[in-house]
Structure 1
Amino acid sequence: MLQFLSRRLLYMIPTVFLVSVVTFAIIQLPPGDYLDSLAAELSDNGGLDEGTRLALEAQYGLGQPMHVQYFKWMKGVLLEGNFGISFEKNLPVNDLIWDRLGWTFAISTLTLLFIWIIALPIGIYSAVRKYSFGDYLATFLGFIGLAVPNFLLALVMMYVAFKYFGQSVGGLVSPQYLEEAWSWDKFIDLLKHIWMPIVVVGTSGAAALIRIMRANLLDELYRPYVVTARAKGMSEFQLLLRYPVRVALNPFVSTIGWILPTLVSGEIIVAVVMNLPTTGPLLLRALLVQDMYLAGSLILIVSMLTVLGTLISDLLLAWIDPRIRYQ
């Protein structure tokens, strides 16, 4: 297992390097830069004078070639943990993203747990009771979950919560707790609000994994080894969990590689609609104004989550099925 982990960690080094190069190149693709966006915003007030433009170019190094800017950025990231300066806010990117990243990771982790708790038992039930009323109901709700946009579900849930339950909507706590220090009452208020973005963001992921688990388990339920174990008198529940479910979990676990970054990047519109203090609105604004280092840092983190999610899924797969370590 240690050798397997070492190989996967070595593979991550060139992957992360290539991801950083592609990330920086993508940020540079749109024509112009932050100063052009700033000049467009100030056009009604006379625009950005040439002296100020030259001073800002010298301050941020925007006049340098792209590869020079890239190595300057990566040097700060790798050696100092410094992601650069946000052009728009004139603040270190580190000061802007870490607090929001904490909320993003918290919501994403809880959403991932919510997806598994919902998808695993429903997927097993749908496979074992295929073509039953419960199976058709799960299938119908799954298709609804996949079809309804997250932001529309967020709007509906916010309307219902405000109209019929009198709950404040928008944000993770009520307005009176925004500036207060953490207390038991504030924590309880957080619990009253945080379940809504978890359900909204996790609905489509849970619906997809229910279908995946059902299909995987149906492929295993009628294999010869299951028939043999049943013929030997093993109880149905014990047989189900020991053999077919364990095998069917392989593709189920491998989805962590794409679910983890999808949860972080997919909550952008939901975060804007629900006014969440996460990285979503920050990334959207940075892309709109071409705030290069801020947008690049956030995209790099989301991309690294893909690599991290793949590593986690590989380790879980190797733990569930030892054959993977040797093949």
Structure 2
Amino acid sequence: MLGFLYRRILYMIPTVFLVSIVTFIIIQLPPGDYLDTLAAELSDQGGLDEGTAQALRDQYGLGQPIYVQYYKWMKGILLHGNFGLSFEKNVPVNDLIWDRLGWTFGISILTLLFIWIVALPIGVYSAVRKYSFGDYAATFLGFVGLAIPNFLLALVMMYIAFKYFGQSVGGLVSPQYLDAPWTWDKFVDLLKHIWMPIVVVGTSGAAALIRIMRANLLDELYRPYVTTARAKGMSEFQLLLRYPLRVALNPFVSTIGWILPTLVSGEIIVAVVMNLPTTGPLLLRALLVQDMYLAGSLILIVSLLTVLGTLISDLLLAWIDPRIRYQ
């Protein structure tokens, strides 16, 4: 198992390196740079004069070749943990992203748990009670969850919470707790608000995994080994947990590799709609104004989550199915 883990970690190093290169190149693809965007925004005020623009370009290193900018960026990250300077806000990227990353990771992990708690039992029930009323209801709700855009669901839930329950909407805490220190009352208020983005972001993922779990388990329930175990007198519940469910979990577990980064990147519009203090609105603004170090750092972190999610999936699959680690 340790050899399997070492190989997977070694594969991660060149993958992350290549991802960082592609990320930096993609950010540089649009014509112009941050100063061109800034000059366009200030056009009504006379714009930037050439001398000021050149001084800022020299200060930020925008006049240097792309490989030089990339080298300086990666050198700062690898040697000092410094993700560079945000052009728009003129502060280190580290100061902007760490607080928001905490909220983003917290919401993402809770959403992932919500997806699993909802999808696993419903998917198993739909497969075991195939073509029952509950199966049809789960299928209908699954299609609805896949069809409704997250931001639209957020708007509907915010309206219902405000209209019928009198709850403040937008943000993770009520306005009176925004700048207040953490207390038990503030924590309780957080719990009253945080469930909504978790449900909104996790709905489509849960709907997709319900269908995956149902299809996987249906493929296993009628295999000869299940019939043989049933003929030996094993109870249905014990049989289900010991054989077909364990095999059906393989594709289910492997979805962590794409669900985890999808939760982080997919909450951008939801975060804007619900005014969440996460990385989504920050990344959107950075892309709009071509704040390349800020945008590149956030995209790199999302890409790293993809690699980590794949590693977690591989380890869980190797733990569930010994054939994987032996190969």
Does TM, scored on the shorter chain, surpass 0.5? yes
| Alpha-carbon distance in structure 1 between the residues aligned to 2:4 and 2:326 | 8
Identity %: 90
How much does 1:237 deviate?
Answer: 0.4
- Secondary structure of the 1:86 match is coil
Q: Does 1:205 align with 2:208?
A: no
How much does 1:115 deviate?
Answer: 0.1
Within 5 Å, give how 1:85-234 maps onto structure 2: 85-234=85-234
Aligned length: 327
| Alpha-carbon distance in structure 2 between the residues aligned to 1:290 and 1:13 | 27
| Alpha-carbon distance in structure 2 between the residues aligned to 1:228 and 1:220 | 13
| Alpha-carbon distance in structure 1 between the residues aligned to 2:270 and 2:202 | 11
How much does 1:51 deviate?
Answer: 1.1
| Alpha-carbon distance in structure 2 between the residues aligned to 1:192 and 1:168 | 10
* Residues 281-327 of structure 1: per-residue CA shift (max 9 Å, x gap): 00000000000100000000001100000000000000000110122
Structure 2 match to 1:280: 280
Structure 1: gaps (5+ residues): none
| Alpha-carbon distance in structure 1 between the residues aligned to 2:278 and 2:44 | 32
- Match of 1:144, as an amino acid? V
* Residues 158-211 of structure 1: per-residue CA shift (max 9 Å, x gap): 000000000000000000000100000000000000000000000000000000
- Match of 2:110, as an amino acid? L
- Match of 1:115, as an amino acid? I
Structure 2 match to 1:57: 57
Structure 1 match to 2:255: 255
| Alpha-carbon distance in structure 2 between the residues aligned to 1:326 and 1:60 | 51
Structure 2: gaps (5+ residues): none
- Match of 2:307, as an amino acid? V
| Alpha-carbon distance in structure 1 between the residues aligned to 2:309 and 2:302 | 10
Structure 1 match to 2:267: 267
Structure 1 match to 2:19: 19
| Alpha-carbon distance in structure 2 between the residues aligned to 1:100 and 1:109 | 14
Structure 1 match to 2:84: 84
| Alpha-carbon distance in structure 2 between the residues aligned to 1:322 and 1:32 | 52
Instruction: Report the TM-score, using the length of structure 1 for normalisation.
Output: 1.00
* Residues 51-87 of structure 1: per-residue CA shift (max 9 Å, x gap): 1111111110000000000000000000000000000
* Residues 68-109 of structure 1: per-residue CA shift (max 9 Å, x gap): 000000000000000000000000000000000000000000
Structure 2 match to 1:10: 10
Structure 2 match to 1:313: 313
Structure 1: 4+ residue segments shifted above 3 A: none
